[in-house]
Chains A and B, each alone.
Chain A
Amino acid sequence: MSSVATTPKKGFDFKAFLANNGALVGLVVLCLAMFIATPRFLTGPNLMNIGIQVSTIAVMAFGMTFVIVAAGIDLSVGSIAAISAMTSSYWVTTAGLPDGLSIVVGLAIGGLCGWVTGAMSAYGKLPTFIASLAMLTIVRGLTLVISDGRPIATGDSVSWLGGDLGFMPVPILILIVSGLIAAFVLNRTIIGKNAFAVGGNTEAARLSGIPVKRVLVTVFVISGIFAALSGMILAGRLDSAQPTLASGYELDAIAAVVIGGASLSGGVGRISGTLIGALVLAVIRNGLNLLSVSAFWQQVVIGLVIAIAVGFDVLRRKNVRH
């Protein structure tokens, strides 16, 4: 189209790839740096370790991506993870009900909690930040009530979630499968496309006949279910559901989504980006551990990484739109 003479593009446009995949490039650079700093980074057991570490945050963040794409935020996911792990364990260990159903019960509780947050926000007109903040406290409180403040041993099903299948850790399998499902739902189904439209411009979506309130409730239900899954993986690894399980995880999940390129003002986000965001966080933690950097300094580094990653993204978008 343009009359400006440019060298014809040969195959791969490296510059455009860099611009569009900043987080991925950052992840690769980060991995190289870690490998140079400590050869132990790139060993099989350590990579497995990172995979297991990342699975809980990533699964939670997959659900969070739906909420953020719809221009909301879900602060309750850490608490939902805990209550789901707790109820599914209570179901088997304390109540003595069939173990086969415990995972379903956990997921249902997660979905129900998400439904409540979504309903508060869609029909009660509370901002999602406030509705989910309220649920963060309510659900954590209920978890403590159910458990009486003590850990409960998990049933066999939930323990299996934290175990191995042959040489493969189950959390990594769940990470892969749930990531594929999340990407499919977000990109190919009405649910996902509606979330993008609502997040991009709520009023335009409504005037086009998209059921905005139902969409809002749905994304919170999805977020709740993924949070529940994440909580049960976490409990399964410990073989017990702790009442303080996953507390503070909501911030990591949000950070992963945002590092992955989603916009907090809605309408933009990718599951692959979220996975990369979660990996960035996990690789930094793992690498700093290998380098024996103190846990206190790790927090400082993670904060800086979030600021830098999102800062780059803002700059990039400004250049694109000029």
Chain B
Amino acid sequence: MSNDALLVLDRVCKSFGPVQVIDEVTVEVHAGKVSVLLGENGAGKSTLIKMIAGVHSADSGRILMDGKEVQIPDTKASEALGIATIHQELNLVPSMTIAENITLGRVPRRFGIINRREMRRIAREALDQLGLNLDVNTPVGDLGLAQQQLVEIAKALSLDARVLILDEPTAALTNAEIAGLFEVVSQLKTKGVGMVFISHHLDEIAAIGDFVNVLRDGKFIATVPADTPENELVRLMVGRDIDAQFPRQAATPSEQNLLSVENLSVGPLQNISLSVRPGEVVALAGLMGAGRTELIRAIAGADKYTSGTVKVAGKKLPRNDVAAATRAGLGHVPEDRKTQGLVLDASVAENIGYATMASTAKAGLVDRKGQRTRAEKVAARLRIRMGNIDQPIRSLSGGNQQKAVFGRWFSAGAKVLLLDEPTRGVDVGAKVEIYELINEITASGGCVLMASSELPEVLGMSDRVLVMSQGRIAGELATNEATQDSIMALAVSNVHREDEMGKK
């Protein structure tokens, strides 16, 4: 197409084993423009970025920089071409100062001794480019996340980056911080830096992007202007019948509440009350930082709460007591299965068995035979694909690992499932299987409270939606009446955010 593009990915392909994750995708990055990558989880955005950053190399297709074909075999090569990536997990050393971080790996030296004055000058210059007024001697760990992110951007600029890739930079920021970041992005535009921006927030795309590249299942769908209406973007992004993807079979809920939470408060959460009846799936929607995970964890007994009550089938649960919650029939599938859900070096059987180990023990002895039989039964029922039940769970795919976490609670006979991002990092096939497990729970008289950032999942799998905003429940919607727009409207129902967006 046009020749003035800074960086072009020309019909690149990539597969991992038999799975084609990127299929003939073409993306252009222009100087002074923000190019948005939009797509569902698993659409191939991060693989694409990793190709540009030199983590993965393309199987076929070309990468052009300034119209010339280049090879990016490793991250060093990417850096040398002037490409910088700001990942969600920042690459900064918290105990070192801003100046030390910005000059990390290329410390100015004189006669072998660190030249501190020169180091501070480089850092100062980099911060000035962004109009940041920070003391370069401050340890990075003392800064907030947003400022750390800006320091990382400054570091990239001081390396003469011409292409900046921002991977969900707003995910963990407050609204005021997002506004600050966008101001910096606008400045960088005027300096001619080309940017790739990834975000799940459609409103941000309109506020900051120039054009949008939509990906779906590893395929390039379309490039559209950033001011394309949101529902059109969603249609391009999802592109298929949501009903088929989400096999929710609503059960008829009975009247008695199975789970009820009254006036629960802790940290950012204020006076949360909710109830879930047997047979119901209630979704918790909201933006990152709205307090969904905190709420789920407090109910599960994983964290303390300052006031309020949690009842299961009318019986009050003690606070911060996972074992008591488990006995009462609660099961918690945490946000991050690798760090919170699984003991990765332990076997599949052991991981499934943790919640039943104590309750089935006799005189302190583990019921080894019973634990094994139960694990085998659950693994077969949940169709966990593995070589054998004794292999380390580390070697299973993400979807099968997640099913094992579910299996733990199935085996413990949990009636109330608390799910936190139940299908994050799970492939499409396993997703549908997990949804079927949710159906099974509700069909057998259990209930589910599900926190999810994926609106299609919220709309497709729940019976009711509770939308959270800034630690409160901002509203409740019946799922069959809810839309992405009506949920988002509640999720951002806080005046400041809209003001800041309006300024742009």
Q: Interface of A with B (CB < 8 Å)? A: 1, 188-191, 193-194, 196-197, 200-201, 203-211, 267-268, 321
Contact A207 B365 (CB under 8 A): no
Task: Collect the chain A residues with CB atoms within 8 Å of residue B361's CB.
Answer: 189-190
Contact B364 A204 (CB under 8 A): no
Residues A201 and B366 in contact, CB atoms below 8 Å apart: no
Q: Which has the most chain A C-beta neighbours within 10 Å: B302, B340, B408? A: B340
A-B pairs with beta carbons under 8 Å apart, 15 shown = A189-B365, A193-B357, A196-B343, A197-B354, A200-B343, A200-B346, A203-B339, A203-B340, A207-B322, A207-B332, A207-B334, A208-B354, A209-B327, A267-B346, A268-B345
Residue of A nearest to B340 (CB): A203
| Residue pair A210, B354 in contact (C-beta under 8 Å) | yes
Asked if A206 meets B346 with Cβ closer than 8 Å, knowing A188-B366, A190-B364, A211-B323, the reply is no
Nearest chain B residue, comparing its CB with the CB of A212: B322
- How many Å from the CB of A290 to the closest CB on chain B? 40
Please name all residues of chain B whose beta carbon is closer than 8 Å to the beta carbon of A208 when the two chains form the complex. 322, 326, 354-355, 408
Q: Does B368 contact A (CB under 8 A)?
A: yes
Instruction: Known A188-B365, A190-B366, A209-B358; judge A201-B343 contact (CB<8 A).
Output: yes
Which one of B345, B358, B364 lies within 8 Å of A267 (CB-CB)? B345
Give B297's nearest chain A residue, CB to CB.
A207
Cα–Cα distance between A193 and B371 once the two chains are bound (Å): 12
List chain B residues, Cβ under 8 A from A267.
343, 345-346
Contact B322 A197 (CB under 8 A): no
Q: Which residues on the A side are within 8 Å of B366 (C-beta)? A: 188-190, 193
Let me know if A205 and B358 touch, CB within 8 A.
Answer: no
> In residues 340-396 of chain B, which contact A (Cβ within 8 Å)?
340-346, 350, 354-355, 357-358, 361, 364-366, 368, 387, 394
Contact A207-B302, Cβ < 8 Å, known A197-B343, A201-B344: yes
Shortest B238–chain A CB gap in Å is 32
Q: Which of B327, B334, B343, B368 counts the most chain A CB atoms within 10 A? A: B343
Please state if B358 and A206 are interface contacts (CB–CB under 8 Å): no
Query: What's the least CB distance linking B343 to chain A, in Å?
Result: 3
Q: Does B37 contact A (CB under 8 A)?
A: no
Most buried by A among B342, B366, B368: B366
Residues of A within 8 A of B339 (CB): 201, 203-204
B438: interface (CB < 8 Å): no
Shortest C-beta distance, A311 to chain B (Å), equals 20
- Is B166 part of the contact surface with A, judged by Cβ < 8 Å? no
User: Which of A204, A267, A268 counts the most chain B CB atoms within 10 A?
Assistant: A204
Measured in the bound complex, the distance between the Cα atoms of B346 and A205 in whole Å is: 12
A306 to chain B, nearest CB (A): 23
Residues of A within 8 A of B341 (CB): 204, 207
- CB-defined interface of B300-340 with A at 8 Å, one 1/0 digit per residue? 10100000000000000000001101110000101000011
**Contact of B368 with A205 in the complex, beta carbons under 8 Å:** no
